[in-house]
Structure 1
């Protein structure tokens, strides 16, 4: 008669890890902004050019903002990229 409660306990304990797998995982948010994504997608030479233009502050040679698939408006993306340049350069 003791076999039935032991068998039930084994089944319940075996099912517990499976129920944890069935739970929905929280949605992961990207850790990089779109401006940082554009920075990391650029080549080393392009990054060097961005930093030189940023340091020069020359209106005759403005920073060329890279094209990057973004949900932000062009101005928002440019501000984000400029903030990345502040940190990286």
Structure 2
């Protein structure tokens, strides 16, 4: 008989804790920057072209920055993509 109130309390506390955990979901953040996303969505041929232009560092043959959905300005995205090229090429 004494176990019934304890079991009821444990059940109620468990339900409260589970509902609290379900509400505190962490906000998911992207693991890739927009520049990295554009790199990985590019074809192998495009990546090769980007790296050739990056290595050439020729103002007559600039790097063609791909389009990619991003909240960054065009200049911020270009800087981000250039940093990706530094790592990948």
Structure-2-length-normalised TM-score: 0.84
Any gaps of 5 or more consecutive residues in structure 1?
none
The answer to whether the aligner puts 1:77 opposite 2:83 as a matched pair is no
The answer to whether the aligner puts 1:47 opposite 2:47 as a matched pair is yes
Give the aligned partner of residue 87 of structure 2.
87
Aligned residues: 89
**Which structure 1 residue ranges, 4+ long, deviate > 3 Å from structure 2?**
none
Any gaps of 5 or more consecutive residues in structure 2?
none
Residue-by-residue CA offset, 1:13-49 (whole Å, 9 max, x unaligned):
6525633543221101111110111000001110000
Query: Is the partner of 2:25 in helix, strand or coil?
Result: coil
Structure-1-length-normalised TM-score: 0.84
Give the aligned partner of residue 63 of structure 2.
63
Higher mean C-alpha deviation, range 52-61 or range 15-24:
15-24
